Amino acid sequence: MTLIHSNSHDASFNLAAEEYLFSHRSDEILFLYVNEPCVVVGRNQDVLSEIDRDFCSENNIPVFKRISGGGTVYHDLGNLNYCFISNRIQGESPLDTAFLQPIVHVLADLQVEVFIGKRNDLWLPGGHKISGTASHVGKTRILRHGTLLYDADLNNLEKSLTPKAAGSTTRAIASVPSPVKNIRSYLKERNFLAPEADSFFGLIVQKLAGLYCLDAVSGLNSVEISGILPFSHAL
C-alpha cells in the first residue's frame, strides 16, 4: 500500500489525481486530500436536480462531476476525502465493505465509534451520517472513495445540496438525503479531545501510516503532477 497525501486543496486537481492514479499506476494506493468548498456530483446524476446552482454561484462554490456513481456531496476544509485504489481480485465483489475497515479502525482509535450502513457509508451512534462512499470499477482496477465530515460548514452543505427545481422528471439517479453531523461536534458532546481540522486530519494520516506499517507518507512527483494538470471536472 502506498499512502499519498495531497498538498493541494484544488478539487479539480484532486479529482483528476484520483483518475490518474487509477489509470496510470498498478499499485495499491490510499489517496487523501482536502478540498476548498465545492460540490461534487456523481457520474449518473442530473446536476440541476441535485444542487441549488444559484446558491453555489453566489457563494463561490464550484460544482464538479466525478467518475464514480453515488450521491452528490459537499466538500470544504473541514472534510477529509479518502480514496482507495486497488487491483481487482477475481470473485471479489466491488460492493464489499472491507475497504472501509481501516477508516473504522482509525476512527475508533480516536474515540469515534462508527458503524457501516447499508450503502457502504459510515454512521455515528444516534443515527447521523459522517461519510458517504462511491466506486468506479474498471477492467483491472477499482476505485472506492468517500468523504469524512469533521468540521464542515453544514449550513453551506444543506443549502448547496437543496435544489430549487424539486420534483423534476429525470432518468438520473437521485441522492438519498441523510441526517449528518460533524465528528468534531460528536467529540465535543462527549468531552473528548476535539482539535482543529488540520490537526485531526494529521492524526488520521499518522494512524493510517502506522496501520499499514509505512515509514513515510508519499506525495505526487513532478511527472505525475504534469500528467494530472490537463484534466478538468468543472461544470
> Based on the structure, what is the number of domains in the chain?
1
Q: Is residue 50 part of a domain?
A: yes
For residue 31, the domain's CATH number is: 3.30.930.10
For residue 8, tell me if it sits in a domain. yes
Residue 168 placed within a domain: yes
Distance CA 163, CA 158 (A): 10
pTM score: 0.92
DSSP 87-102: E--TT--TT-SGGGHH
Q: pLDDT tens-digit profile of 83-110? A: 999 999 887 776 789 999 999 999 999 9
In a domain, 99, yes or no: no
Domain containing 141 equals 2-88+135-177+195-228
Spatial CA neighbour of 18 closest among 67, 65, 61, 62? 67
pLDDT digits (tens, 9 = 90+) for 96-149: 899 999 999 999 999 999 999 998 999 999 999 999 999 999 999 999 999 999
C-alpha distances (whole Å) from 81 to each of 32, 78, 111, 149 are 6, 10, 19, 9
Beta strand pairing call for 38-41 and 63-65: parallel
